[in-house]
Structure 1
Amino acid sequence: MAKFIQILKDINELIVFKHSVFALPFIFVAMIVASKSANGSVWFGFELLILGLFCAVSARNFAMGANRYLDRDIDKDNPRCASRPSVDGRIGSKNLLIFIWLNALIFVVVAYFINSLAFWLSFPILAILGAYSYFKRFSSLAHVVLGICLGLSPIAGAIAVLADIPLWVILLSCGVVFWVAGFDILYSLQDMDYDKKKGLFSIPSIYGAQASMFICALFHFLTILFWLLFAISAKLGIIGFIGVAVSGIILYLEHRIVRRDFSKIDRAFFTLNGYLGIIFFIFVLVSLW
Structure 2
Amino acid sequence: MEKIIKKIKDFSELVVFQHSVFALPFIFIAMVVSSDEINGSAWFGFKLFVLGILAAITARNFAMGFNRFMDRDIDALNPRTSNRPNVDGRITPKAMFLFSFANALGFIIVAYFVNNLALILSVPILIIIGSYSYFKRFSYLAHIILGISLALAPIAGVVAVSETIPFWVIMLSTGVMFWVAGFDLLYSLQDIDVDKKLGLHSIPSIFGVEKTMNLSKLFHFLTVIFWLLFVIYSQSSYFAYLAVLISALMLSYEHYLVSKDFRKIDRAFFTVNGYLGIVFLFLIVLDKIFF
TM-score (norm 1): 0.99
Within 5 Å, give how 1:194-209 maps onto structure 2.
194-209=194-209
In 2, Cα distance between the equivalents of 1:267 and 1:98?
32
SS in 2 for 1:124: helix
Q: Deviations over 1:66-92 (max 9, x none)?
A: 000000111001011011111111100
1:30: Cα distance to partner?
0.3
Partner of 1:64: 64
Where in structure 2 are the equivalents of 1:202-241 lying within 5 Å?
202-241=202-241
> In percent, how many aligned pairs have the same letter?
59
Does residue 157 in structure 1 map to residue 161 in structure 2? no
The amino acid across from 1:269 in the alignment is: F
User: CA offsets per residue over residues 11-65 of structure 1, 9 Å max, x none?
Assistant: 1100101000100000000000010000000001111111111111000000000
Partner AA of 1:198 in structure 2: L
Aligned residue in 1 for 2:28: 28
Query: Residue 166 of structure 1 aligns with which residue?
Result: 166
Which amino acid is the alignment partner of residue 223 of structure 1? Answer: T
Paired AA for residue 81 in structure 1: T
Q: Distance in 1 between matches of 2:22 and 2:53?
A: 14
1:109-148 aligned within 5 A: 109-148=109-148
Q: Deviations over 1:104-162 (max 9, x none)?
A: 11100110110000001001000001100100011111000000000000000000000
1:231 & 1:88 partners in 2: Cα distance?
A: 46
Two-structure CA RMSD over aligned residues (Å):
0.5
TM-superposed deviation, 1:239: 1.7
The DSSP-based 3-state class of the residue aligned with 1:263 is helix
Deviation (angstroms), 1:242: 1.2
Structure 1 counterpart of 2:42: 42
Matches within 5 A, 1:98-113: 98-113=98-113
Runs (4+) of structure 1 exceeding 6 A deviation are none
Corresponding letter in the other structure for 2:74: I
Q: What one-letter code is carried by the residue in structure 2 that aligns with 1:264? A: K
Amino acid aligned to 1:216: S
Paired letter, 2:148: I
- 1:88 partner SS: coil
Residues 199-243 of structure 1, C-alpha deviations (whole Å, 9 max, x = no match): 111111111100000000000000000000000011111221111
Distance 1:236 1:265 in 2: 33
Aligned to 1:270: 270
Q: Which residue in the other structure is 1:179 paired with?
A: 179
Matching residue of 1:280: 280
Query: What SS does the corresponding residue of 1:86 show, helix, strand or coil?
Result: coil
Q: Within 5 Å, which residues of 2 pair with 1:244-255?
A: 244-255=244-255
Amino acid at match of 1:92: T
Match of 1:8 in 2: 8
